[in-house]
Amino acid sequence: MKLEEKIAIVTGAGAGIGAASAALFVREGAKVIAVDIDPAALAQTSAQRTSADILNVVADVSKRNDVDLVVRTALDKYGRIDILFNNAGIVPPGKIDAIDEVQWDRAMAINVKSMYLFCHAVIPQFKKQGSGVILNTASATALRAVVDRACYTATKAAVIGLTKSMALDYVRDNIRVNCLCPGTIDTPSLAQRIAAFPDPAKARKNFIARQPMGRFGTAEEIAEAALYLVSPEAGFVTGMAFAIDGGFSI
């Protein structure tokens, strides 16, 4: 029980890495506020959970009012927040001349501004408590470039910069800030990206061919890394961009 009685906000908890992390955090004793824009996804994943320790909140992480509602809900119910896992994100594909301004702004809002909104809302509470842990989801593409991901990579490089900067700013407030850099992980988001190719079977083969281990990672493998970084075991770890990518960024 590495997270006994800890209160954790997990965004993007309706699917993939967020869903696996929310489930693991609860198994480790946490009470989780599971946040997602997609009510059906949240309902579906919570139907697989039997725990009363998960509270679903439908919210768009890029909207200030929604973020404030999530934080208020957590504080009203539990009176404190110990862990903020900023995980929700989208993957806009394409080279920069194929990305229009609307796609660019949307990716920046969901992948980066959301982290500003949540951190801005939660850090005063962490300071009041004298402790807190933030984990952000970046990507291995911010460590090693791949084709057709310019906008996405820009958002994830921003997440690494934000993580390091915040880690330094709040190190004496007993607030740790780290980020995950997952490689290619078998989640609904990856399945959608593969399905969008004219020949999905070939695309899947190509995606696997670029993996040094010859396979995708699983959401559960990323959740285990998330668990470590938010747990007291990682008490001396801050400001790190933690790659879990099967050797992709070597």
Ligand X SMILES: NC(=O)c1ccc[n+]([C@@H]2O[C@H](COP(=O)([O-])OP(=O)(O)OC[C@H]3O[C@@H](n4cnc5c(N)ncnc54)[C@H](O)[C@@H]3O)[C@@H](O)[C@H]2O)c1
Residues lying near ligand X in the complex (CB under 6 A): 11-12, 14-18, 36-38, 41, 60-62, 87-91, 110, 137, 139, 182, 184-185, 187-190
Whole-number minimum distance, CB 130 to ligand X, in Å? 29
Q: Which of 78, 116, 152, 170 is catalytic?
A: 152
For residues 120 and 54, give the distance between their C-alpha atoms in angstroms, rounded to a whole number: 23
With respect to ligand X, which residue has the nearer C-beta, 57 or 123? 57
Distances (CA, A) of 28 to 31, 109, 203: 9, 31, 37
Nearest to 216, CA basis, from 197, 188, 176: 188
According to DSSP, the residues that pair with 218 across neighbouring strands are 186
Whole-number minimum distance, CB 96 to ligand X, in Å? 18
- 3-state SS assignment for residue 163: helix
With respect to ligand X, which residue has the nearer C-beta, 128 or 197? 197
For residues 58 and 73, give the distance between their C-alpha atoms in angstroms, rounded to a whole number: 11
- 3-state SS assignment for residue 63: coil
Give Rg (Cα) of the chain: 17
Phi-psi region of 247 (alpha: psi -120 to 50; beta: other; left: phi over 0): left
For residues 18 and 40, give the distance between their C-alpha atoms in angstroms, rounded to a whole number: 15
With respect to ligand X, which residue has the nearer C-beta, 7 or 59? 59
Whole-number minimum distance, CB 194 to ligand X, in Å? 10
Is 170 tagged catalytic? no
Phi, psi of 135 (to 5 degrees): -125, 130
Whole-number minimum distance, CB 30 to ligand X, in Å? 19
Whole-number minimum distance, CB 223 to ligand X, in Å? 10
- 3-state SS assignment for residue 110: helix
With respect to ligand X, which residue has the nearer C-beta, 16 or 246? 16
With respect to ligand X, which residue has the nearer C-beta, 91 or 237? 91
- Which residues are tagged catalytic? 152
